[in-house]
């Protein structure tokens, strides 16, 4: 292919993913990287043959360049959104891995792109190297997808796997994960469930063909999960995972959330360990499928970014309306199920005084709140004459379980509610 036909690429961000994209594109003779926006031009980089003359510390140099496609890899809402808008105004198509921007301003972004007849592709924003956006938009387009359970954050999955395998505490494993580079210095976005919430917002919007508003997505992280919960979950036939969950009920209402969950050892997700991610979908006519693989990292994520670049490049100059299937076609916003009105099974761990009537009291509080108990377990006594008691419920309402927890906390028989974790049903 002659130089004249080369597709010109501008990249904003040359961190882990940006480096992977740069290195991967070196294998393609029909692309020319014309500009790369970086924070610090003089920073040493482990990239062979990098031409420093195309680096700039002003990202607007990238969007104002002669690039055909601008790749945004800096994350966050601003300046990313302003840069992408300017790039679209300048006639560029966009590839992004920005899950926060898509979750919070996806509607505005896609409408803006459509007004200017430009495409925004974002395969890398949901599950790193796992292809999920394009399959939903194309090969699975004939399905009505109504249920998603996914592991979408490698950091939390690594921490929970290590807690499970080593029997270690959350704090100890987090420190180790930070030392190994699997967790950020400030891990809040990951461990509090925000990262996974951004991703499930966009994924469920796509799958359900209705807009899901990020502010309506419930998120709860893994910081309260204890080594004791891990051990007990195993004994009960479960693993604890941070699950991104989305369900579209028969009335067309959406229940979208992120929280720890006891997942049956019989399910695929129970065996997705360390930094791996997985997405399980249920739909008609396909049934139940699971895609799993690396959810982050230099080359897995670059794989998705470069796939998007190739999809756009293949259409340039051939049509005035690129990739119609990949564009946004949402016409309605989903009505959401309030978290208080959801039905779940629950694992509750309590510490109670060793007195006659303690177990009966727990059962009575459950009964008074319309909660059926599947099992109650007590293993011996502690030195302080208290007992750890585990209750697993049948399906019941979130509002009822919260009322029961309040009553447990104010009951003379019960010292403390240590854990409340939902159970896969």
**Is residue 276 annotated as part of the catalytic site, yes or no?**
no
C-alpha 277/C-alpha 256 separation (Å) is 18
Cα angle vertex 329, ends 218, 333, to 5°?
A: 35
Which of the 8 DSSP states describes residue 68? S
Q: How is residue 337 written in tokens?
A: 């199920």
**pLDDT per residue of the chain (425 residues) written in tens, 0 to 9:** 444 589 999 999 999 999 999 999 999 999 999 999 999 999 999 899 899 999 999 999 999 999 999 999 999 999 999 999 999 999 999 999 999 999 999 999 999 999 999 999 999 999 999 999 999 999 999 999 999 999 999 999 999 999 999 999 999 999 998 988 888 889 999 999 999 999 999 999 999 999 999 999 999 999 999 999 999 999 999 999 999 999 999 999 999 999 999 999 999 999 999 999 999 999 999 999 999 999 888 999 999 999 999 999 999 999 999 998 899 888 899 999 999 999 999 999 999 998 888 999 999 999 999 999 999 999 888 889 899 999 999 999 999 999 999 999 999 999 999 999 999 99
Domain with CATH 3.30.70.260 in the chain: 339-423
What's the pLDDT score for residue 5?
Answer: 83
What's the pLDDT score for residue 375?
Answer: 94
CA 251 to chain centre: 26
Domain with CATH 3.30.360.10 in the chain: 133-294
C-alpha 243/C-alpha 145 separation (Å) is 18
Catalytic residue among 99, 199, 210, 239: 199
- Cα-Cα end-to-end distance for the chain: 55
DSSP for 264-291, please give it. Answer: ETTSGGGG--TTEEEEEEEEETTEEEEE
C-alpha 323/C-alpha 123 separation (Å) is 14
Q: How is residue 315 written in tokens?
A: 């259409």
Reduced to 3 states (helix: H, G, I; strand: E, B; else coil), residue 64 is coil
What's the pLDDT score for residue 4?
Answer: 57
Q: Residues 374-408, buried b or exposed e (16+ Cβ, 10 A)?
A: eeeeeeeeeeeebbbbbbbbeebbbebbebbbebb
The structure's pTM equals 0.95
Q: How is residue 221 written in tokens?
A: 């992280």
What's the pLDDT score for residue 329?
Answer: 81
Which of the 8 DSSP states describes residue 326? G
What's the pLDDT score for residue 111?
Answer: 95
Residue whose C-alpha is closest to residue 124's, from 292, 301, 276: 301
Q: How is residue 10 written in tokens?
A: 């501008």
The CATH superfamily assigned to 339-423 is ACT domain (3.30.70.260)
Which of the 8 DSSP states describes residue 324? G
Domain with CATH 3.40.50.720 in the chain: 3-128+298-326
Top CATH class, 3-128+298-326: alpha beta
Residue 416 dihedral angles phi and psi, to the nearest 5°: -160, 145
Residue whose C-alpha is closest to residue 355's, from 325, 327, 379, 387: 387
Q: How is residue 83 written in tokens?
A: 């840069």
Q: How is residue 289 written in tokens?
A: 């499928």
Q: Which CATH number fits domain 133-294: 1.10.1280.10, 3.30.360.10, 3.40.50.2300, 2.40.128.520?
A: 3.30.360.10
What's the pLDDT score for residue 381?
Answer: 87
DSSP for 218-276, please give it. Answer: EE--STT--HHHHHHHHHHTEEEEEEEEEEE-TTS-EEEEEEEEEEETTSGGGG--TTE
Residue whose C-alpha is closest to residue 246's, from 296, 190, 196, 311: 196
Bridge-based pairing of strands 144-151 and 120-121 is: unpaired
Helix ranges restricted to H, 116-153: 124-127, 133-137
C-alpha 206/C-alpha 190 separation (Å) is 22
Q: How is residue 136 written in tokens?
A: 């939903």
- CA distances, 339 to each of 68, 344, 401 (Å): 44, 10, 12
């Amino acid at each position: 292919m002659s130089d004249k036909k080369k597709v010109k690429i501008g990249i904003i961000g040359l961190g882990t993913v940006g480096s992977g994209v740069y290195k991967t594109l070196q294998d393609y003779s029909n692309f020319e990287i014309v500009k790369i926006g970086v924070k610090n031009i003089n920073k040493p980089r482990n990239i062979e043959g990098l031409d420093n003359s195309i680096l700039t510390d002003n990202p607007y140099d990238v969007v104002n360049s002669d690039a055909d496609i601008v790749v945004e890899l800096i994350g966050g809402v601003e300046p990313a959104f302003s840069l992408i808008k300017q790039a679209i105004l300048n006639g560029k198509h966009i590839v992004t891995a920005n899950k926060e921007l898509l979750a919070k301003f996806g509607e505005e972004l896609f409408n803006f792109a459509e007004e200017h007849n430009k495409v925004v592709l974002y395969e890398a924003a949901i599950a790193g190297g796992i292809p999920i956006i394009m399959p939903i938009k194309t090969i699975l387009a004939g399905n009505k997808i109504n249920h998603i359970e996914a592991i979408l954050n490698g950091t939390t999955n690594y921490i929970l796997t290590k807690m499970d395998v080593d029997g270690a505490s959350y704090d100890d494993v987090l420190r180790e994960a930070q030392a190994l580079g699997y967790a950020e210095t400030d891990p809040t976005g990951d461990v509090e469930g925000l990262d996974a919430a951004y991703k499930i917002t966009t994924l469920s919007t796509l799958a359900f063909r209705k807009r899901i508003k990020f502010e309506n997505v419930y998120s709860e992280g893994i910081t309260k999960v204890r080594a004791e919960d891990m051990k007990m979950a195993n004994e009960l036939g479960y693993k604890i995972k941070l699950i991104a969950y989305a369900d579209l009920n028969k009335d067309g209402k959406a229940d979208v959330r992120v929280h720890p969950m006891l997942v049956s050892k019989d399910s695929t997700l129970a065996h997705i360990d360390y930094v791996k991610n997985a997405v399980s979908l249920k739909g008609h006519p396909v049934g139940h499928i699971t895609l799993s693989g690396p959810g982050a990292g230099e080359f897995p994520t670059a794989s998705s970014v470069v796939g998007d670049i190739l999809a756009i490049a293949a259409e340039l100059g051939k049509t005035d309306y690129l990739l119609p299937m990949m564009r946004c076609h949402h016409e309605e916003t989903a009505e959401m199920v309030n978290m208080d009105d959801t039905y779940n099974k629950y694992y509750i761990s309590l510490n109670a005084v060793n007195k006659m009537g303690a177990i009966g009291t727990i059962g009575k509080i459950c009964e008074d709140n319309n909660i059926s108990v599947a099992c109650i377990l007590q293993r011996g006594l502690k030195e302080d004459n208290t007992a750890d008691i585990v209750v697993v419920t049948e399906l019941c309402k979130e509002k009822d379980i919260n009322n029961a927890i309040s009553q447990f906390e104010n009951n003379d028989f019960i010292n403390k509610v240590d854990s409340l974790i939902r159970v896969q049903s």
